[in-house]
Amino acid sequence: MRPFRLTAALAACAAVLGACVSGGRKVPPTVSPAATSASPGVSGPVTDSVPYWCDLVPRGALSRVSGVLTGLSEIRNSGATRDRSICGVRDKERYGPLVVQWNVTGGRDEIATWLKDIGSDHPIRLPSQLGVGFSVYSQSASRLPYFAASTFDCGPHDAWIELFLRRISSGRNATRDLTDLMRIAQKRFGELHRCTPAG
């Protein structure tokens, strides 16, 4: 059972996009690893460039990774503050291609709880320079089953970031893409909070 803080945050995420766990109840994803192609993805590496979705994910990188190129719009949770945010990207499908969630506190507890919840899905540890975190395809995480999460120090903050993606385009390396997106998201987090992310 997730702590109340996480359950409440994910319920808020569900309110934004209808995509994450709601009220502590796990919902299976709408896609499987074998059915991950949308429109044809764009080949090549994930790179950092403006503009960004939800302040942390380059728009071009999301299109490259997900294959979703047009018809996107951003939705932010009304409860977002300078210290925490839940934000999503919508398209014509029921569940949008991206949810970004972050907070400046509680990172170690957040990641420890997730690792307990998704341990059977065999999460892959992120490189140590990204702090303590993982990437995973998890049918129990949300309707956006490609998932990366990390906790890291950034100045006084015990920060964490979670990235949920609906799909990774066919032929791409999901682990590499999620790692690259997390690396960029942490760098942007540091720029926005005037601190230097450290593992």
pLDDT tens digits, 49-85: 999 999 999 999 999 999 999 999 999 999 999 999 9
Q: What is the pLDDT of the chain when averaged over all its residues?
A: 83
What's residue 7's pLDDT?
42
Q: What is the pLDDT of residue 132?
A: 97
Residues of the chain with pLDDT under 70: 1-42, 141-142
pLDDT the model gives residue 71 = 94
Which long-range contacts does 31-39 make (Cβ < 8 Å, 24+ apart)?
Answer: 31/145, 31/166, 31/167, 33/137, 36/167, 36/168, 36/169, 36/170, 37/67, 37/167, 37/169, 37/170, 38/66, 38/67, 38/68, 38/97, 38/167, 38/169, 39/67, 39/68, 39/69
CA distance 53 to 127: 24
Query: pTM value?
Result: 0.83
Cis peptide before 145 (omega within 30 of 0): no
